[in-house]
């Protein structure tokens, strides 16, 4: 399933952009249709069962699988789903790819866990080596939900609203020390099919799941093409399912430019699929710097 049921492309609204800039995230309801939820959930739970058979689950029986398109290509429709992808190109422009992605399955935890400190910003060394305060956004992540998270305590995505413009968060001397939750921590509730769009800088974690609802989600992080891809996708063009992907999906999976630095720097918009798709639809808004060729 590489195509989706709602083909129309529209930009994010001014109100959504304002909320995203203020809070560092937005929750978008009912992005996926019932059939898309069914397809995505089945594919992710299939990966979970395989992980269980291969002994690759975590200590609490959870799956955290990186580079999901390489292992579960039927999820490729999520890469450029029009109702979700509009937030990515509206914020980051056309010269982008997916640099980091994962699928997660967290079943019920039966034993009380210590209050380990899991709070972090995405971006790894970017948070050490970029000197500005606040640091630049650099990337935006989409979190699709395939389970009922309408109550807290179900492994909810947890954030500190507005913290994306704060470089440091007071915490323990190391992650191996139990520590209370930071002030302002908010568990985000959502239905299956809902989407969370978040700035990679927002301080976030995951609540423990003590409920009988298995938490199922898929995460895709987008960034400019001049930042290296972390996902293991180099072999995808050699696989039979590759021809079923759209040209934009292929760009997002790192296929365009043949490693040419100038192409990745955005010097050739006319041979970059997302640029062409936005131009064709009249969506290259000159008021947004990232959308200017």
| Each residue's pLDDT expressed in tens, for the chain with a length of 293 residues | 544 455 589 999 999 999 999 999 999 999 999 999 999 999 999 999 999 999 999 999 999 999 999 999 999 999 999 999 999 999 999 999 999 999 999 999 988 888 888 999 999 999 999 999 999 999 999 999 999 999 999 999 999 999 999 999 999 988 778 899 999 999 999 999 999 999 999 999 999 999 999 999 999 999 999 999 999 999 999 999 999 999 999 999 999 877 789 999 999 999 999 999 999 999 999 989 899 88
CA atoms of 205 and 220, how far apart (whole Å): 16
State the pLDDT at residue 4. 47
What angle do helix axes 82-92 and 14-23 make, rounded to 10 degrees?
70
Residue 210: strand, helix, or coil: coil
State the pLDDT at residue 7. 59
State the pLDDT at residue 137. 97
Q: Could you say which DSSP state residue 92 is in?
A: H
116-142: string of b/e by CB count within 10 Å (b at 16+)? ebebebbbeebbeeeeeeebebbbbbb
CB 186 within 8 A of CB 158: yes
Which pTM does this prediction carry?
Answer: 0.95
CB 149 within 8 A of CB 9: no
State the pLDDT at residue 116. 83
Residue 221: strand, helix, or coil: strand
State the pLDDT at residue 54. 96
Torsion, CA 60, CA 61, CA 66, CA 70, rounded to 10: 180
Surface-to-core class of residue 145, CB atoms within 10 Å of its CB (0-12 exposed, 13-18 middle, 19+ buried): buried
- Asked whether the CA dihedral 121, 198, 36, 10 is positive or negative, the reply is negative
CA atoms of 266 and 255, how far apart (whole Å): 14
């Amino acid at each position: 399933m590489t195509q989706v049921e709602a083909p129309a492309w529209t930009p994010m609204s001014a109100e959504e952009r304002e909320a995203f800039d203020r809070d560092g995230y937005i929750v978008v309801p009912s992005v996926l249709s019932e059939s898309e939820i069914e397809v995505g959930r089945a594919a992710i739970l299939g990966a979970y069962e395989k992980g269980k058979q291969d002994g690759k689950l975590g200590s609490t029986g959870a799956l955290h699988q990186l580079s999901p398109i390489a292992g579960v290509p039927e999820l490729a429709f999520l890469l450029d789903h029009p109702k979700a992808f509009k937030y990515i190109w509206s914020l980051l422009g056309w010269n982008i790819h997916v640099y980091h992605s994962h699928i997660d399955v967290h079943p019920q935890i039966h034993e009380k866990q210590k209050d380990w400190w899991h709070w972090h910003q995405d971006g790894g060394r970017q948070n050490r080596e970029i000197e500005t305060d606040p640091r630049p956004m650099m990337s935006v992540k989409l979190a699709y939900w395939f389970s009922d998270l309408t109550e807290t305590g179900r492994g909810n995505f947890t954030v500190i609203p507005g913290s994306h413009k704060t470089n440091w968060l007071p915490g323990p001397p190391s992650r191996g020390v139990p520590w209370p939750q930071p002030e302002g921590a908010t568990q985000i509730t959502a239905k299956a099919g809902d989407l969370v769009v978040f700035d990679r800088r927002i301080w976030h974690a995951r609540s423990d799941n003590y409920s009988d609802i298995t938490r199922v989600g898929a995460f895709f992080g987008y960034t400019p093409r001049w930042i290296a891809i972390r996902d293991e996708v180099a072999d995808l063009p050699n696989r039979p399912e590759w021809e079923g992907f759209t040209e934009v999906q292929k760009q997002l999976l790192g296929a365009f430019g043949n490693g040419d630095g100038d192409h990745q720097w955005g010097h050739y918009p006319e041979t970059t699929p997302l640029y062409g798709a936005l131009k064709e639809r009249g969506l290259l808004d000159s008021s947004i710097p990232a959308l200017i060729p």
